[in-house]
């Protein structure tokens, strides 16, 4: 091997790797685990059932409180 083409080896643990500089005005992208997860929507049929149940409970509570 030609000695001119041989790369000098350095102890990589002694020299920390330099991070490439970002372009000015570039926004930092969030890591995927920090991105907002989509909220699962409850189907309308089940939602209305929940609302009806809660209404019944509230009516029962108000009836007992008013007595």
Q: Is 18 inside any structural domain?
A: no
Quote the pLDDT of residue 19.
74
Q: What's the confidence (pLDDT) of residue 56?
A: 92
In a domain, 4, yes or no: no
In a domain, 23, yes or no: no
Domain tally, the chain:
1
Q: Examine residue 49 and state whether it is found in any structural domain, yes or no.
A: yes
Segment 4-61, tens digit of pLDDT? 666 666 666 666 777 777 666 666 666 666 666 666 777 777 778 888 889 999 999 8
Domain membership flag for residue 17: no
Predicted local confidence at residue 36, as pLDDT = 64
The answer to whether residue 25 is domain-embedded is no
- Helices and strands in the chain: count of H runs, count of E runs: 1, 0
| Range(s) of the domain holding residue 64 | 43-67
pTM above 0.75, yes or no: no
């Amino acid at each position: 091997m030609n000695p001119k083409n041989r790369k000098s080896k350095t102890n990589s643990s002694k020299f920390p790797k330099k991070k490439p500089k970002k372009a000015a005005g570039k926004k930092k992208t969030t890591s995927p685990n920090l991105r907002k997860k989509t909220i699962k929507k409850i189907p309308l049929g089940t939602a209305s059932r929940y609302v009806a149940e809660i209404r019944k409970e509230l009516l029962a509570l108000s009836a007992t409180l008013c007595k």
